[in-house]
Amino acid sequence: MAGPPSDREFDFHPGMDMRWEVARSTEETSGEVFESTNWLDPGMPGPPVHVHPNAEESFEVIEGSLEVFKDGEWATFGPGEAATVPAGAPHTLRNGDEASKIVTRLRPAGRSEAFFRHLHSLIREGKLKRLPPKEPRSAIYAAMLFNNYPDVTRVTGPLSGASGRWPFSGEGLGSGSRSLMPLHGVATIFPRRPS
């Protein structure tokens, strides 16, 4: 019988099609970097276009491939290749038709690890059923999460993301796309967690 998952493992299923293992924690690197090894399921649509205002994010492909959207264009990276996104640059990522293994680094770490731990707990507790949220309760929890970590990540584009594969209420990109921005006001009625 398997024991409980370690505090270094994040299985984001069923909320997101990926699982992570912390390779180097914020504490272990004195805040220099938060590094995780990520296993992405085939066809993982990725997050909406977003920025990390205070951290550079890099993706190193170990197995499979990864598509990264930055500077308004998609680029595909294979094993041994890496993509780096500077702090404040709008970007997203998605996985193709095969499973992928990548190493993600956020530098400096800031509160990135805390954000992903919080996201994982919301999925594990059933508060976020699926990202993107397809029902109001999950949408409110997602808005509250992003509101609590504006120094870590901010959604800058439609919630469906640049890939068009992350629909909200069944809608893809185009005039019908929605974002988390209308829910920002809802999230502000809930107090932020102390820093």
Residue 166 Cα distances to 23, 114, 128, 138, 161, angstroms: 28, 24, 15, 15, 6
Q: Give the DSSP per-residue string, 155-178.
A: E-S-TTTTTS-S-BTTB-SSTT--
pLDDT tens readout for residues 28-64: 999 999 999 999 999 998 888 999 999 999 999 999 9
Domain annotation covers residue 42: yes
The yes-or-no verdict on residue 90 having pLDDT over 60 is yes
- Domain assignment present for residue 2? The answer is no
Query: Is 195 part of any domain?
Result: no
pLDDT of 158 reads 57
H/E stretch holding 116 reads helix 112-124
Give the structural domain span for 105.
9-187
In a domain, 86, yes or no: yes
104: in domain: yes
Judge whether 174 lies within some domain: yes
Residue 70 pLDDT > 60, yes or no? yes
Residue 1 located in a structural domain: no
pLDDT digits 0-9 by tens, 126-179: 999 988 888 899 989 998 999 999 999 998 865 544 444 433 333 333 333 344
Give the CATH number of the domain where residue 94 resides: 2.60.120.10
Neighbours of 137 (CB within 10 A): 12
Say how many domains are in the chain.
Answer: 1
